[in-house]
């Protein structure tokens, strides 16, 4: 096995130099010496896929499956090949029987969320349209949280959707999602980013618009443990746990601070409403992740913050998310925009993001979450 490891290192170096054909030749020679070695065979299949030889890659992997091989990377590699060549149903069916065994391995878990998204979207019968014409054309415009919905939509067989969807990323206009000019102005003197305004005018034929601007901005207030610690009391949610010994920040003070922080969201809703005539539905962003260990293991942009003081209490993040949603809901209602709350299916029993919806970062949800929201959106006529 030590010799094989050195071969794999050599193969990776050859691929990095831009000569995958030579790397494949080396692996095939190794395969002749070790014909039953699963790692070698999977590497050959993955390299065939890399070279665009998808059918050959499929043949290698399906043969392994028929021979009784069952390693996690076999399922991952075959799933990827099936998806690429359009065998989506076979890909989705492949993973579920092994969910309990491999479900904690993130590369498998991510693909499992896609498989479950496929079945969730396509389990219902095709809508009765009376004809093949799609009823409505929906625009989904937003920041990174729409990626889960966009990804899930790619797993939908079109006959199982009642509407057609076009996705547009706000970062096409501003890479920080701050689409209100001036960026640091007040709440009275503002205008929508000119590029976005122009795009909306040129693409004004949609029947409905689903909107999501930023979405996790509140985490900058609370992802790491504050020193000194603080707490807030949400009116109507006095049932939520309190943090012992923490300073209670007045609700209106925290609300004003957070509203100022998400000014681009509050005013973005109003500015977009003024530019389009189609009904607008605002998508509530995902709730916080409850598990602090998950945050530290997948810290990403928050790595330094979490390394310095550790994660905050989950209940602080939850309360700030509730406040964040309340501010956005008020902005929506002030201009006739519908605020669409999350379905209970994406939440755990305490209101946090359900474990089955987690992605390997500190704030985004996976494609199964996207499928649940897509189904919620698709219920609109």
The verdict on residue 267 lying in a domain is: yes
The CATH code of the domain that includes 79 is 1.25.40.10
- Specify the number of domains making up the chain: 2
What is the domain range of residue 54?
Answer: 2-122
- Orientation of helix 194-202 relative to helix 263-275, angle to 10°: 40
What size, in residues, is the chain?
381
pLDDT for the residue 333: 98
Which whole-number Å values give the CA distances from 171 to 193, 214, 341, in the listed order? 12, 10, 24
Min mean pLDDT across 66-80, 97-111, 120-134, 184-198 is at 120-134
The verdict on residue 45 lying in a domain is: yes
What span, in angstroms and rounded, lies between the C-alpha atoms of 264 and 183?
8
pLDDT for the residue 128: 54
How many CA within 13 A on the CB side of residue 250? 3
In DSSP notation, 64-86 reads HHHTT---HHHHHHHHHHHHHTT
Boundary-marking domain end, from 65, 94, 122: 122
- 202-218 burial: b if 16+ Cβ within 10 Å, else e: eeeebebbbbbbbbbbb
40 closest CA partner among 18, 73, 15: 73
27 and 173, same structural domain?
Answer: no
Which whole-number Å values give the CA distances from 225 to 219, 293, 311, in the listed order? 11, 14, 5
Cβ–Cβ < 8 Å for 273, 192: no
pLDDT for the residue 2: 54
The verdict on residue 128 lying in a domain is: no
219 closest CA partner among 350, 363, 330: 363
158 and 64, same structural domain?
Answer: no
The verdict on residue 130 lying in a domain is: no
Residues forming beta bridges with residue 209, ordered by sequence position = 139, 280
The verdict on residue 217 lying in a domain is: yes
Digit-coded pLDDT (tens) for 19-74? 999 999 999 999 999 999 999 999 999 999 999 999 999 999 999 999 999 999 99
The verdict on residue 129 lying in a domain is: no
Digit-coded pLDDT (tens) for 275-322? 999 999 999 999 999 999 999 999 999 999 999 899 999 999 999 999
The verdict on residue 127 lying in a domain is: no
241 and 163, same structural domain?
Answer: yes
For the chain, count helices (H), then strands (E): 17, 9
What stretch of H or E contains 339?
strand 338-340
Boundary-marking domain end, from 61, 87, 122: 122
98 and 143, same structural domain?
Answer: no
Residue 381 pLDDT more than 80?
A: no
Reduce the DSSP state of residue 138 to 3 states and report it: strand
Pair of tokens at residue 80: 């990827």
Residue 132 pLDDT more than 70?
A: no
- Quickly state the pLDDT bin for 16 (edges 50, 70, 90): very high
250 and 336, same structural domain?
Answer: yes
72 and 167, same structural domain?
Answer: no
148 and 98, same structural domain?
Answer: no
Boundary-marking domain end, from 99, 122, 145: 122
Residue 131 pLDDT more than 50?
A: no
Average pLDDT over residues 242-253: 95
Average pLDDT over residues 195-205: 95
191 and 71, same structural domain?
Answer: no
143 and 100, same structural domain?
Answer: no
278 and 371, same structural domain?
Answer: yes
35 and 72, same structural domain?
Answer: yes
Pair of tokens at residue 118: 């496929």
What span, in angstroms and rounded, lies between the C-alpha atoms of 124 and 162?
11
Cβ–Cβ < 8 Å for 103, 109: yes
Average pLDDT, the chain: 93
What span, in angstroms and rounded, lies between the C-alpha atoms of 356 and 96?
13
Digit-coded pLDDT (tens) for 75-105? 999 999 999 999 999 999 999 999 999 999 9
95 and 34, same structural domain?
Answer: yes
The CATH code of the domain that includes 313 is 3.40.50.1110
The verdict on residue 27 lying in a domain is: yes
């Amino acid at each position: 096995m030590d010799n094989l490891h050195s071969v794999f290192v050599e193969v990776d170096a050859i691929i990095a130099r831009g000569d995958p054909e030579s790397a494949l030749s080396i692996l095939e020679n190794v395969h002749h010496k070790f014909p039953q070695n699963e790692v070698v065979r999977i590497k050959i299949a993955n390299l065939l896929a890399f070279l665009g030889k998808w059918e050959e890659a499929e043949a290698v992997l399906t043969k392994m499956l028929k021979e009784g091989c069952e390693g996690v990377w076999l399922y991952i590699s075959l799933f990827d090949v099936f998806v690429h060549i359009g065998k989506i149903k076979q890909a989705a069916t492949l993973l579920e029987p092994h969910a309990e065994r491999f479900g904690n391995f993130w590369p498998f878990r991510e693909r499992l969320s896609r498989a479950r998204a496929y079945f969730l979207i396509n389990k219902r019968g095709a809508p009765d349209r009376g004809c093949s014409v799609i009823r409505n054309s929906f625009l989904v415009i937003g920041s990174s949280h729409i990626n889960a919905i966009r990804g899930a939509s790619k797993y939908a067989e079109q006959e199982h959707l009642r509407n057609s969807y076009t996705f547009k990323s706000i970062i096409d206009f501003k890479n920080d999602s701050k689409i209100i000019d001036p960026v640091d102005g007040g709440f009275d003197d503002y205008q929508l980013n000119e590029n976005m305004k122009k795009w909306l005018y040129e693409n004004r034929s949609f029947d409905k618009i689903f909107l999501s601007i930023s979405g996790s901005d509140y985490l900058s207030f609370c992802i790491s443990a504050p020193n000194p610690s603080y707490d807030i009391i949400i009116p109507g949610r006095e049932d939520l746990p309190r943090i012992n010994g923490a300073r209670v920040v007045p609700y209106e003070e925290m609300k004003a601070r957070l509203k100022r922080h998400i000014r681009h969201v509050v005013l973005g809703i109003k500015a977009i409403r003024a530019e389009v005539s189609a009904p607008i539905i605002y998508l509530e962003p995902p709730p916080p992740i409850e598990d602090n260990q998950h945050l530290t293991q997948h810290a990403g942009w928050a790595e330094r913050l979490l390394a310095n003081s550790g994660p905050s209490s989950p209940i602080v993040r939850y309360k700030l998310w509730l406040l964040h949603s309340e501010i956005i809901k008020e902005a929506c209602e002030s201009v006739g925009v519908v605020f669409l709350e999350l379905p209970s299916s994406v939440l755990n029993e305490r209101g946090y993001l359900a474990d089955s919806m987690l992605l390997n970062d500190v704030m985004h949800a996976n494609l199964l979450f996207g499928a649940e929201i897509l189904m919620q959106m698709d219920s609109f006529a």
